[in-house]
Amino acid sequence: MSITAKPTPGKLLLTPKDHALIMIDFQSQMSFATHSIDAITLRNNAGLVARAAASFKVPTILTTVAEKSFSGPMFAEVTDPFPGQGLLDRTSMNTWEDAAVIKQVNAIGKERLVLAGLWTSVCIVGPTLSAIEQGFEVYVIADACGDVSAEAHDRAMDRMVQAGARPMTAVQYLLELQRDWARSETYESTTGIAKLYGGSYGLGLIYAKTMFHAQGG
Protein backbone atom coordinates (compact mmCIF):
# COMPACT_ATOMS: atom_id res chain seq x y z
CA MET A 1 0.00 0.00 0.00
CA SER A 2 1.49 3.30 -1.10
CA ILE A 3 1.60 6.42 1.07
CA THR A 4 0.62 9.78 -0.40
CA ALA A 5 2.47 12.82 0.92
CA LYS A 6 0.43 15.92 1.76
CA PRO A 7 1.67 19.52 2.21
CA THR A 8 0.40 19.70 5.79
CA PRO A 9 2.29 19.97 9.11
CA GLY A 10 2.58 17.06 11.51
CA LYS A 11 0.38 17.05 14.59
CA LEU A 12 3.39 16.92 16.91
CA LEU A 13 4.51 20.38 15.78
CA LEU A 14 3.55 23.26 18.06
CA THR A 15 1.27 26.07 16.96
CA PRO A 16 0.62 29.35 18.79
CA LYS A 17 -2.91 28.29 19.72
CA ASP A 18 -2.44 24.69 20.82
CA HIS A 19 -0.39 25.06 24.00
CA ALA A 20 0.38 27.04 27.11
CA LEU A 21 3.87 28.07 28.20
CA ILE A 22 4.98 27.86 31.83
CA MET A 23 8.18 29.73 32.74
CA ILE A 24 9.45 28.63 36.13
CA ASP A 25 11.82 30.22 38.66
CA PHE A 26 14.02 32.33 36.41
CA GLN A 27 15.30 34.06 39.55
CA SER A 28 18.61 35.39 40.82
CA GLN A 29 19.19 32.90 43.63
CA MET A 30 18.32 29.96 41.39
CA SER A 31 20.77 31.14 38.73
CA PHE A 32 23.71 31.60 41.14
CA ALA A 33 24.15 27.83 41.48
CA THR A 34 23.35 27.03 37.85
CA HIS A 35 26.45 25.67 36.08
CA SER A 36 25.10 23.57 33.20
CA ILE A 37 24.67 26.75 31.14
CA ASP A 38 26.29 30.15 31.54
CA ALA A 39 24.14 32.97 32.87
CA ILE A 40 24.35 35.10 29.72
CA THR A 41 23.15 32.28 27.46
CA LEU A 42 20.46 31.30 29.95
CA ARG A 43 19.07 34.85 30.17
CA ASN A 44 19.27 35.22 26.39
CA ASN A 45 17.38 31.98 25.73
CA ALA A 46 14.78 32.71 28.40
CA GLY A 47 14.22 36.14 26.84
CA LEU A 48 13.87 34.61 23.39
CA VAL A 49 11.23 32.16 24.61
CA ALA A 50 9.29 34.84 26.48
CA ARG A 51 9.29 37.25 23.54
CA ALA A 52 8.30 34.49 21.13
CA ALA A 53 5.33 33.56 23.32
CA ALA A 54 4.27 37.19 23.74
CA SER A 55 4.59 37.85 20.01
CA PHE A 56 2.42 34.87 19.09
CA LYS A 57 0.00 35.48 21.99
CA VAL A 58 0.68 32.11 23.60
CA PRO A 59 -1.03 31.94 27.01
CA THR A 60 1.84 32.08 29.48
CA ILE A 61 2.17 31.43 33.19
CA LEU A 62 5.07 33.05 35.07
CA THR A 63 5.79 31.45 38.42
CA THR A 64 8.42 32.01 41.10
CA VAL A 65 9.42 30.27 44.30
CA ALA A 66 9.91 32.20 47.56
CA GLU A 67 10.40 35.41 45.60
CA LYS A 68 10.57 37.83 48.51
CA SER A 69 12.11 35.60 51.18
CA PHE A 70 14.85 33.79 49.25
CA SER A 71 15.03 33.48 45.48
CA GLY A 72 14.66 37.10 44.39
CA PRO A 73 13.04 38.71 41.37
CA MET A 74 12.37 37.02 38.05
CA PHE A 75 14.65 37.90 35.14
CA ALA A 76 13.52 41.09 33.41
CA GLU A 77 14.09 39.27 30.11
CA VAL A 78 11.16 37.04 31.07
CA THR A 79 8.81 39.59 32.66
CA ASP A 80 9.27 42.54 30.28
CA PRO A 81 7.42 40.89 27.35
CA PHE A 82 4.37 40.50 29.62
CA PRO A 83 3.83 43.97 31.12
CA GLY A 84 1.39 44.01 33.99
CA GLN A 85 1.17 40.22 34.28
CA GLY A 86 1.33 38.95 37.84
CA LEU A 87 3.74 36.32 39.02
CA LEU A 88 2.42 33.25 40.81
CA ASP A 89 4.72 32.78 43.80
CA ARG A 90 4.92 29.32 45.37
CA THR A 91 6.31 27.52 48.37
CA SER A 92 6.37 24.15 46.62
CA MET A 93 9.38 23.12 44.54
CA ASN A 94 7.01 21.23 42.24
CA THR A 95 4.95 23.82 40.37
CA TRP A 96 2.27 21.20 39.73
CA GLU A 97 1.53 21.01 43.48
CA ASP A 98 0.62 24.70 43.66
CA ALA A 99 -3.15 25.27 43.59
CA ALA A 100 -2.91 28.77 42.06
CA VAL A 101 -0.80 27.52 39.16
CA ILE A 102 -3.12 24.58 38.51
CA LYS A 103 -6.11 26.90 38.61
CA GLN A 104 -4.46 28.96 35.86
CA VAL A 105 -3.57 25.86 33.84
CA ASN A 106 -7.21 24.76 33.97
CA ALA A 107 -8.45 28.24 33.10
CA ILE A 108 -6.26 28.29 29.99
CA GLY A 109 -7.49 24.83 29.07
CA LYS A 110 -4.65 23.57 26.89
CA GLU A 111 -3.69 19.90 26.99
CA ARG A 112 -0.25 20.65 25.55
CA LEU A 113 2.28 22.44 27.77
CA VAL A 114 5.73 23.88 27.14
CA LEU A 115 8.05 24.29 30.13
CA ALA A 116 11.30 26.15 30.78
CA GLY A 117 13.06 27.17 33.96
CA LEU A 118 15.42 26.46 36.85
CA TRP A 119 16.48 23.92 38.00
CA THR A 120 15.91 21.18 35.44
CA SER A 121 16.17 18.28 37.90
CA VAL A 122 13.75 19.75 40.44
CA CYS A 123 11.47 22.53 39.25
CA ILE A 124 11.10 21.18 35.70
CA VAL A 125 11.11 17.43 36.37
CA GLY A 126 8.40 17.81 39.03
CA PRO A 127 5.70 19.44 36.90
CA THR A 128 6.69 17.54 33.78
CA LEU A 129 6.28 14.09 35.32
CA SER A 130 3.14 15.19 37.18
CA ALA A 131 1.48 16.67 34.10
CA ILE A 132 2.35 13.67 31.91
CA GLU A 133 0.83 11.34 34.49
CA GLN A 134 -2.39 13.35 34.31
CA GLY A 135 -2.58 13.07 30.53
CA PHE A 136 -0.94 16.30 29.36
CA GLU A 137 1.57 16.50 26.53
CA VAL A 138 4.75 18.24 27.70
CA TYR A 139 7.55 19.88 25.74
CA VAL A 140 10.70 21.05 27.55
CA ILE A 141 12.91 23.80 26.13
CA ALA A 142 16.25 22.26 27.10
CA ASP A 143 18.50 25.28 26.52
CA ALA A 144 16.15 27.54 28.47
CA CYS A 145 16.64 25.32 31.51
CA GLY A 146 19.66 24.91 33.76
CA ASP A 147 20.93 22.98 36.74
CA VAL A 148 23.75 22.80 39.27
CA SER A 149 25.81 20.70 36.85
CA ALA A 150 25.71 19.41 33.29
CA GLU A 151 25.21 15.93 34.71
CA ALA A 152 22.18 17.02 36.73
CA HIS A 153 20.64 18.76 33.70
CA ASP A 154 21.33 15.89 31.29
CA ARG A 155 20.00 13.18 33.60
CA ALA A 156 16.89 15.27 34.25
CA MET A 157 16.30 15.65 30.51
CA ASP A 158 16.81 11.89 30.08
CA ARG A 159 14.31 11.14 32.82
CA MET A 160 11.66 13.43 31.31
CA VAL A 161 12.17 12.13 27.77
CA GLN A 162 11.89 8.55 29.03
CA ALA A 163 8.54 9.52 30.57
CA GLY A 164 7.31 10.97 27.26
CA ALA A 165 8.37 14.62 27.32
CA ARG A 166 9.53 16.16 24.05
CA PRO A 167 12.76 18.20 24.16
CA MET A 168 13.37 21.27 22.02
CA THR A 169 15.46 24.45 21.96
CA ALA A 170 14.65 28.15 22.27
CA VAL A 171 15.29 29.03 18.62
CA GLN A 172 13.37 25.93 17.57
CA TYR A 173 10.42 27.15 19.64
CA LEU A 174 10.42 30.55 17.92
CA LEU A 175 10.73 29.14 14.40
CA GLU A 176 8.19 26.39 15.00
CA LEU A 177 5.61 29.02 15.90
CA GLN A 178 6.40 30.99 12.73
CA ARG A 179 7.01 27.96 10.48
CA ASP A 180 6.28 29.80 7.23
CA TRP A 181 7.97 33.02 6.15
CA ALA A 182 4.90 33.85 4.09
CA ARG A 183 3.06 34.59 7.38
CA SER A 184 3.64 38.29 7.01
CA GLU A 185 1.75 39.31 10.14
CA THR A 186 4.46 37.82 12.37
CA TYR A 187 7.45 37.99 10.01
CA GLU A 188 8.94 41.23 11.35
CA SER A 189 8.42 40.23 14.95
CA THR A 190 9.97 36.80 14.48
CA THR A 191 13.02 38.06 12.63
CA GLY A 192 13.33 40.91 15.12
CA ILE A 193 13.44 38.47 18.03
CA ALA A 194 15.96 36.31 16.16
CA LYS A 195 18.18 39.34 15.48
CA LEU A 196 18.23 40.24 19.17
CA TYR A 197 18.42 36.78 20.74
CA GLY A 198 19.31 34.34 17.96
CA GLY A 199 23.10 34.53 18.23
CA SER A 200 24.91 33.81 14.97
CA TYR A 201 21.59 33.04 13.27
CA GLY A 202 20.41 36.53 14.18
CA LEU A 203 23.63 38.05 12.88
CA GLY A 204 23.09 36.18 9.63
CA LEU A 205 19.63 37.71 9.29
CA ILE A 206 21.03 41.18 9.91
CA TYR A 207 23.77 40.60 7.34
CA ALA A 208 21.43 39.22 4.69
CA LYS A 209 18.90 41.99 5.21
CA THR A 210 21.53 44.70 5.08
CA MET A 211 23.62 43.39 2.22
CA PHE A 212 21.06 41.68 0.02
CA HIS A 213 17.65 42.85 1.31
CA ALA A 214 16.87 39.16 1.83
CA GLN A 215 13.79 37.79 3.55
CA GLY A 216 13.15 34.60 5.43
CA GLY A 217 15.27 32.11 7.31
Convert the pLDDT of each residue in 17-39 to its tens digit: 999 999 999 999 999 999 999 99
Q: Is residue 4 part of a domain?
A: no
Q: With 90 as the cut, is the pLDDT of residue 213 above it?
A: no
Confidence at residue 68, expressed as pLDDT on a 0 to 100 scale? 77
pLDDT average, residue stretch 190-196: 94
Regarding whether 184 and 105 lie in a shared domain, the answer is: no
77 & 56 share domain: yes
Asked if residue 216 has pLDDT above 60, the reply is: no
Confidence of residue 214 (pLDDT cuts 50, 70, 90): low
Examine residue 11 and state whether it is found in any structural domain, yes or no. no
Judgement on whether residues 175 and 151 belong to the same structural domain of the protein: yes
What per-residue confidence (pLDDT) applies to 215? 61
Among the listed residues 101, 123, 124, 138, the single catalytic one is 123
What distance in Å separates the CA atoms of residue 135 and residue 37, rounded to the nearest whole number? 30
Minimum mean pLDDT among 97-106, 163-172, 194-203: which range? 194-203
Residue 157 to residue 115: CA distance in whole angstroms: 12
SS3 140: strand
Residue 74 lies in a domain: yes
Q: Check residue 66 and give its pLDDT.
A: 79
70 has pLDDT over 90 = no
Q: Please report the sign of the dihedral spanned by the C-alpha atoms of residue 36, residue 42, residue 46, residue 49.
A: negative
* Cα(97)–Cα(130) distance, integer angstroms: 9
* Residue 206 domain boundaries: 180-217
Residue 63 sits in the same domain as residue 107? yes
- Identify any residues that bridge with 112 across adjacent strands, giving them in sequence order: 137
114, 14 Cβ separation under 8 angstroms: yes
Looking at the fold, whether 167 and 106 belong to one and the same domain comes out as yes
Residue 149 half-sphere exposure, CB side, CA atoms within 13 Å?
A: 3
- In this prediction, residue 14 carries a pLDDT of 98
Instruction: Using the Cα atoms of residue 50, residue 136, residue 157 and residue 191 in order, give the sign of their dihedral.
Output: negative
Q: How many domains does the chain have?
A: 2
Q: Do 35 and 24 fall into the same domain?
A: yes
Give the pLDDT of residue 67. 73
Q: Is 145 a catalytic residue?
A: no
Q: Are residues 84 and 162 in the same domain?
A: yes
Is residue 132 domain-resident?
Answer: yes
Cα dihedral 107/77/18/192 (nearest 10): 140
Q: Work out the mean pLDDT of the chain and round it to a whole number.
A: 95
Which CATH number is 71's domain given?
3.40.50.850
Backbone angles phi, psi at 53, to 5 degrees: -60, -45
Element of type H or E holding 145: strand 137-146
Q: What is the pTM of this model?
A: 0.94
Share of residues in the chain with pLDDT > 70 (%): 98
- Read off the pLDDT of each residue in 110-132 and give the average, rounded to a whole number: 98
Average the pLDDT over each of 7-16, 129-138, 179-188, 195-204 and give the range with the smallest value.
195-204
Q: Are residues 104 and 188 in the same domain?
A: no
Do 155 and 187 lie in one domain? The reply is no
- For residue 56, what pLDDT band results from cuts at 50, 70 and 90? very high
DSSP annotation string for 4-29: ---S---TTS--TTS-EEEEE--BHH
